[in-house]
Chains A and B, each alone.
Chain A
């Protein structure tokens, strides 16, 4: 009790320390474990042990206060109990969150243990260094309290961080909700776009079929232009067939008569005539047949099959058809047409009706151009169309369709091969003729279609076809 006389403060602290610090610490730790860690829920096997520890500590504090007899013993009991508690806190993984308590309390316990040991062995030494011991013990308490506070602060920050994480999670939830919403919208938009795409595809399909129809109607239009020419071309051979057939009927009657009167020489003469006429009938019949066939070929959609064709005969045929077609439409129109065919050209492999269509188109354009110019009543103007074929070098054939009409104006020169471009008045041209021709020559036959023109003086369209 000398401590009382030495120093009031440290003595009081020492008293507290000696009497009950270990038990108080145990109570605080147990209360903390039960409250903060909810030991009952998470560590049920420890619930009862902590309970007993709590009651024991309270009981022993009471014992310390009541009696002074077992002071040192109780102190040792307190230290052992605290040591056992800390040992378990440190060992058991379930107390992980309370481990800081070990850090906070162990220094105090160690100090208390050392002091208690010294006191047990050498009470004089203890008494001599008691002031220092108290100070160290006080320091250990401060250390413990400090650790507690720091840890609390850290825990608070941890909670704050958790809260933040929670908020972030909430945010994420909101974001993912928005994302889901966005996805729905995107899906809707995608569906819309897909619908639009499908509609466009349908439109494209319709356009394609319209184009096919237009091409067909262009064919039919050119066939219409041809019809009159064809009628004329067929009428002539048919007339010959009929006339020669009638003549033959008369001749046969005459021959019979000559035979009857015995004039065999004359009968033989007549027979020769009949034979000649028969050949004429056959020739003109075939001629009409060929014209009908070429007309059918022209109206049919292209088979795309290339056949060996006499390009000179083809050009001649279509020149005549085009001419008569135009004549049938405009009776007053007349033009000179000239041909200059190269006999060295062997039959070349082409799609007959396609090249025929190109020729018809070019020749029709030429006739149209000269008839336009003719209407301007230029003195001495003689409308002339010239079709020339020529075998040129490196295995190619050139077909030129030239006219001395108005020519192609410079400003439209680069447009004439475009689809739907026409200089003709509405209703007179589909604007597809040259574009189809270009396609047929370029893509269908690997050739070239060019134009040379001088405004006011005429135009010359040049087809170049490879012989192979």
Chain B
């Protein structure tokens, strides 16, 4: 399962690789990383249908996570990838907007990786 992680914090990559090292080792999950909304869209265009799940931060300079979400839901609809939003601001406004734009899930920072793993497994199945 290919998961695209979008966050402007570069250390997210190391963190995910460590947290999911068993899953990566077994080939259960394969991660790709993008550091901005623009990069994420570029990746999705270049690797059509590869990523089945997208984990995106909301607060990023330039294109925000919510904009990225809107673009994904508009452009990549066959089949629509699962998009989970992650934000440091777990407020109602962000949540509602994400849901309205068609987010499949909404997580707040700091990430609870145990919970995330469970959710990922659910989505895969």
Q: B9 within 8 Å of A by Cβ?
A: yes
Partner of B61, one of A246, A328, A337: A337
> Which residue of B is nearest A241, CB measured?
B110
Q: Which one of A60-68, A81-89, A105-113, A276-284 contacts B?
A: A276-284
- Shortest distance from the beta carbon of B90 to any chain A beta carbon, whole Å: 11
User: How far, in whole Å, are A243 and B13 apart by their CA atoms in the complex?
Assistant: 12
A269 to chain B, nearest CB (A): 10
* Cβ-defined contact, B109 with A235, below 8 A: yes
User: In this complex, what residue of B is CB-closest to A323?
Assistant: B61
In chain A, positions 322-343 with a C-beta closer than 8 Å to chain B are: 323-324, 327-328, 331-332, 334-337
Closest B residue, CB atoms, query A331: B93
A163 at the interface (CB under 8 A from B): no
Task: Give A238's nearest chain B residue, CB to CB.
Answer: B110
- CB-CB under 8 A from B88, the residues of chain A are 232, 235-236, 239
Residues of B contacting A: mostly: loop
How many angstroms between the C-alpha atoms of A90 and B17 in the bound complex?
141
Contact status B11-A284, CB under 8 Å: yes
Chain A residue nearest in CB terms to B94: A331
Chain B residue contacts of A335, Cβ below 8 A: 61
* A244: Cβ under 8 A from any B Cβ: yes
Q: With A327-B59, A331-B89, A337-B61 given, is the CB distance from A243 to B9 under 8 Å?
A: no
Q: Which residues of B contact A328 (CB under 8 A)?
A: 89
B63 at the interface (CB under 8 A from A): yes
Contacting pair B59 A243 (CB below 8 A): no
A247, B19: Cβ atoms under 8 Å?
A: yes
Q: Provide the bound-state CA to CA distance between A236 and B110, in Å.
A: 8
Complexed CA–CA distance, A246 and B15 (Å)? 10
> In this complex, what residue of B is CB-closest to A231?
B88
Query: Interface size class for chain A?
Result: 20 to 34
Closest residue of chain A to B16, judged by CB?
Answer: A243
Residues in chain A near residue B11, CB distance under 8 A: 240, 280, 284
> A334 and B67 in contact (CB under 8 A), knowing A232-B59, A243-B111?
yes
Which residues 98-125 of B sit at the A interface, judged by CB distance below 8 A? 109-111, 113
The answer, yes or no, to whether A172 is at the interface (CB within 8 Å) is no
Q: Which chain B positions have C-beta within 8 A of A238?
A: 110
Does B39 interact with chain A (Cβ within 8 Å)?
A: no
Q: How far is the CB of B74 from chain A (nearest CB, A)?
A: 17
Chain A residue at minimum C-beta to C-beta distance from B7: A236
Which A residues between 199 and 242 are near B, CB-CB below 8 angstroms? Answer: 232, 235-236, 238-240, 242
Contact with A along B46-83 (1 / 0, CB 8 A): 00000000000001011110010000000000000000
Whether the Cβ atoms of B15 and A240 lie closer than 8 Å is yes
Shortest CB-to-CB span from B21 to chain A, Å, is 8
**B42 contacts A by Cβ under 8 Å:** no
Q: Which residues from A are CB-within-8-Å of B63?
A: 334
Whether the Cβ atoms of B94 and A244 lie closer than 8 Å is no
A439 within 8 A of B: no
Selected A-B contacts with CB under 8 Å, 7 pairs: A247-B19, A276-B14, A277-B14, A331-B91, A331-B94, A334-B62, A334-B64
Please give 10 more A-B residue pairs, beta carbons under 8 A apart, in addition to A239-B88, A251-B18. Answer: A232-B88, A235-B88, A243-B15, A243-B113, A247-B19, A273-B18, A280-B11, A324-B59, A334-B67, A336-B62
Closest 8 CB pairs of A and B: A239-B110, A247-B18, A334-B64, A336-B62, A235-B88, A331-B93, A243-B15, A239-B109
